[in-house]
Amino acid sequence: MTFHPRIPSLEPVRTGAVSFFLAAGILGCSLTTGGLGLPSNPTNNSTSASASRTPGPTATPTTIETPTSKAGAFLESFQSYSFPTPWQDLPSGNLVVAWDETANRFDYITWQGETGPLIEVDGDALGPFASPLGILGQGRGVAMIDGFIGDQKRRIDFVDLPEERAWGYEARCAPGESVGDIELGQAYLEYECGQPGTPTPRTFKFVSMDNPGIVLERPLPDGIEKLDPTLEPTWIDPETIYLVGAGRGAARGTTACVASVIDWQPDCLSAPYMFGAVSPDGRWIEVRDGQFPDAWPERVGAIPTDCLRQLSEAVCTPKWVETGFLVGDRITEYPAVWSPDSKSFFLLNRPDVPLIDRSTDVWRFNVDSGSLAQVGSIPNQPDRSFFSLPYGYLRSEVIWSLDGHRLLLLRADCPTCAPPRGPEHYTFDMRDGSLTLLASTQGWATGVIQVP
């Protein structure tokens, strides 16, 4: 294993919060807990660990004033969104949000199968290829992103359901750079800037959702040449991000880092295995090993996230279990799906191509016992369609019922069927392996909102 030294933190870039709000005509309170449903004082909840080596030098962060054009700008409130079902009339509980791109509309789906319109979008507001970005903090609304990839500027819209209002943010990069992937976190909006036409970002920009006038600019950590295209940056807690490097061939996904966006001293580890998804509580990382570990892992396990901080080989050596998966037989979805309680993760082992006589098998890895067992099997359908996680902006969406037992799965549409069939959402119960049709809509699930 190779442990990479910390790199000095960069200076945060403050873009003038007061002038921001005055220019956009938005009061500061509209961008705090009341506007976005985000905590006003985010804290780092990660488990602390003592490093086994001397930390590298740390630069003292300072605040500098820069023109807003270098970072981004909030846009005026606008009327591109309407709300056919008022917030107070929505069913209570956690509601699945589905995006229908043909109708430019968000629908809601209850876990009892009821559906209804949620948000209608002006088709000209964001362009023809606009898509959902994610769910706002505390499940209060959604975020949309324009469809123009590779530009120096990209627009993100925030739609708050309880207040029935929307506003936008224009992410900007330096001249000669383009805005890359974007991740919506609880306390920060992260986007990447890099050379147009390449997948490798030069810098990350973190926009504070509590005070959008503050933008932290950070470089790609040492030890990572480019990010893995399948496993996008993941928030471990409101201020800590998890990154996995791409590599080549067998080296893909074998370098991972965790870093606080505040001081940006990334702890990175290069290992002889492949890093996967991080658990919801931020304590565990799925790992897999084999000749082609992403699609056909020969063995799987879990390591503590603190392995990347403590840099101890004993802590970073997984307790492996053999999968028995054969190369070329099926494909195992990468990354794995963590349970809401972070006690286990699930592997979806599906046919490589839609074959009517092959099923999708679901396997559970238990973190405490280190055991792997099959919990169910989903038969393929007569129209040769199979089940998968709903697909989101950059990666598949993991959506669980409130009790943590039922996982939402998407059965793709079938326009050539007689009659033609739209997308169907099913629930797979991890307790007994049962599959139940939840709802048939023209859209696909993108997340969950919380209605009191």
Count CB atoms within 10 A of the CB of residue 237: 19
What is the predicted pLDDT for the residue at 38? 32
Q: From the CA atom positions of the chain, what is the Rg in Å?
A: 22
* 271/260 Cα distance (integer angstroms): 21
Is 421 inside a domain boundary? no
User: Which residue do the tokens 């570990």 mark?
Assistant: 293
pLDDT digits (tens, 9 = 90+) for 290-315: 989 989 999 999 999 999 988 777 78
396 within some domain: no
What CA–CA distance (Å, rounded) separates 443 from 436? 18
Taking alpha carbons only, the member of 10, 5, 2 closest to residue 263 is 10
Q: Looking at residue 77, what DSSP letter applies?
A: P
- Check which CATH number belongs to the domain holding 144 and give it: 2.130.10
pLDDT of 396 reads 83
The answer to whether residue 373 is domain-embedded is no
Residue 205: inside a domain, yes or no?
A: yes
User: Domain range spanning residue 171?
Assistant: 2-328
In this predicted structure, what is the pLDDT of residue 47?
29
28 band by pLDDT with thresholds 50, 70 and 90: very low
Q: How far apart are the C-alpha atoms of 379 and 421, rounded to whole Å?
A: 18
In a domain, 333, yes or no: no
**Residue 234 counted as domain residue:** yes
In a domain, 122, yes or no: yes
Q: What is the mean pLDDT of the chain?
A: 78
Evaluate whether 155 touches 169 at the Cβ level (below 8 Å).
yes
Number of domains in the chain: 1
174 versus 20: which is more confidently predicted? 174
How far apart are alpha carbons 144 and 80 in whole angstroms? 12
Query: In this predicted model, what pLDDT tens digit does every residue of 234-289 receive, in sequence order?
Result: 999 999 999 998 865 556 789 999 999 999 999 999 899 999 999 999 999 999 99
Asked whether residue 334 is domain-assigned, the answer is: no
pLDDT-derived band at 48, boundaries 50, 70, 90: very low
Work out the pLDDT band at 229, boundaries 50, 70, 90.
confident
